[in-house]
């Protein structure tokens, strides 16, 4: 026991080693950068209070001392341990602050430097075309109506004179949901919803996305349509022709030779395709179909709660992609949806 007490008194330099902790930390801090200093402090911690450290080893001898000496010995060793921990903790905090200061200094923004110019964006060509269409019809007195893209069978087909067994349904490759709803195949359902909630005269256009199961150079499963509807007591086929002639002249900034070719749409009677004489790059020209139209079918008016004996009207529909391809000289519809910046920059 006496040898243990003697060891406690001088501990082979134990007290001297403890006295030198602060000086050793100061010496290390003066010679090393903060990152290396972190490593050295950890080595010092392990040397003094690690599992096999100097102070930890002293605490392990506590049980070998006489009972009357254990408390005094334990207090002194614990105080020494606390002093070491405090010194290391203080130094660690200083190191962390120094590292933070270094990082902040390296990230400092020089406010005198010129700013970076933002890239100037531009509208997508389809957005340009759609905005142009809406603007033209707004000048002609048409309001914009909107409706859901997920429709029920009645609004998409039934109310537009497509009965369940009507052969015209085969013209639409429709995306159906299990509950019987569908992705609308045209924006005509918007006309039905708008007409049911209004009293004539009605003058609206319905722009929006539509969906059909078709994809090739000139077709996309998702595309944009604008459909128009006018209902009053006096409108005629001549009014329809004049409206569409003015629209095409304004959209393409030029006049065209136009023809109205008789065709069939279940929701109009009579129906027509509008074709224009289009100039080709080689100097020739050809007839191009650009939209469909007709006088609103009496049954459609009845489905909207409008008396066909009193009111009449006309409707028309056009594909935005089709018109944009003609206006901008694009030959492949898919280019509009591939987000190729080289293509889109042409319209900036």
Distance CA 185, CA 266 (A): 14
Please list, in sequence order, all residues whose beta carbon lies within 8 angstroms of the beta carbon of residue 199, skipping any fewer than 6 positions away: none
Residue 42 has a CB neighbour count (10 Å cut-off) of: 13
Dihedral pair phi/psi, residue 333, rounded to 5°:
-60, -30
Distance CA 54, CA 19 (A): 13
The conformation of residue 174, written as its DSSP 8-state character, comes to: -
Residue 191 has a CB neighbour count (10 Å cut-off) of: 30
pTM exceeds 0.75, yes or no: no
pLDDT, one tens digit for every residue, the chain (348 residues) = 333 334 334 444 555 555 555 565 566 555 555 666 767 777 777 777 777 777 777 767 766 777 777 677 777 777 777 777 787 777 778 777 877 877 777 777 777 878 778 777 788 999 999 999 999 999 999 999 999 999 999 999 999 998 887 765 666 578 888 888 999 999 999 999 999 878 899 999 999 999 987 766 667 788 999 999 999 999 999 999 999 999 999 999 999 899 999 999 999 999 999 999 988 877 788 898 999 999 999 999 999 999 999 999 999 999 999 999 999 988 888 888 888 888 888 887
Distance CA 273, CA 292 (A): 4
The conformation of residue 17, written as its DSSP 8-state character, comes to: H
Start-to-end CA span in the chain (Å): 93
The H-or-E segment that residue 9 falls in is helix 2-10
Closest CA to 315 of 212, 195, 221, 136: 195
């Amino acid at each position: 026991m006496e040898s243990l007490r003697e060891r406690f008194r001088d501990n082979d330099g134990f007290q001297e080693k403890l006295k030198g902790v602060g000086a050793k930390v100061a010496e290390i801090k003066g010679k090393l950068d903060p990152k290396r200093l972190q490593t050295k402090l950890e080595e010092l911690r392990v040397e003094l209070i690690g599992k096999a450290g100097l102070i930890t080893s002293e605490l392990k001898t506590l049980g070998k001392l006489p009972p009357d000496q254990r408390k005094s010995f334990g207090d002194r060793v614990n105080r020494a341990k606390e002093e070491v921990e405090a010194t290391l903790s203080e130094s660690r905090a200083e190191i962390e602050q120094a590292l933070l200061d270094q990082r902040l200094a390296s990230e400092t923004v020089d406010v005198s430097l010129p700013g970076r110019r933002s890239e100037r964006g531009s509208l997508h060509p389809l957005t340009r075309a759609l905005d142009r269409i809406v603007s033209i019809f707004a000048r002609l007195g048409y309001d914009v109506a909107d409706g859901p893209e997920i429709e029920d069978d009645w609004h998409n087909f039934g109310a537009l004179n497509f009965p369940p067994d009507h052969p015209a349904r085969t013209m639409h490759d429709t995306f159906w949901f299990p509950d019987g709803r569908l992705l609308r195949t045209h924006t005509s359902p918007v006309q039905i919803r708008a007409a049911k909630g209004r009293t004539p005269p009605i003058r609206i256009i319905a722009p929006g996305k539509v969906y059909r199961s078709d994809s090739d150079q000139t077709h996309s499963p998702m595309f944009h349509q604008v459909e128009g509807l006018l209902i009053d007591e006096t409108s005629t086929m001549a009014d329809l022709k004049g409206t569409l002639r003015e629209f095409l002249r304004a959209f393409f900034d030029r006049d065209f030779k136009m023809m109205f070719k008789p065709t069939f749409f279940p929701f109009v009677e009579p129906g027509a395709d509008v074709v224009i004489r289009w100039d080709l790059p080689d100097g020739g020209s050809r007839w191009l179909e650009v939209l469909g139209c007709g006088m609103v079918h009496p049954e459609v008016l009845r489905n909207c709660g409008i008396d066909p004996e009193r009111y009449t009207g006309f409707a028309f529909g056009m594909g935005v992609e089709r018109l944009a391809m003609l206006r901008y000289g694009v030959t492949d519809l898919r280019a509009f949806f591939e987000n190729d910046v080289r293509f889109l920059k042409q319209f900036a």
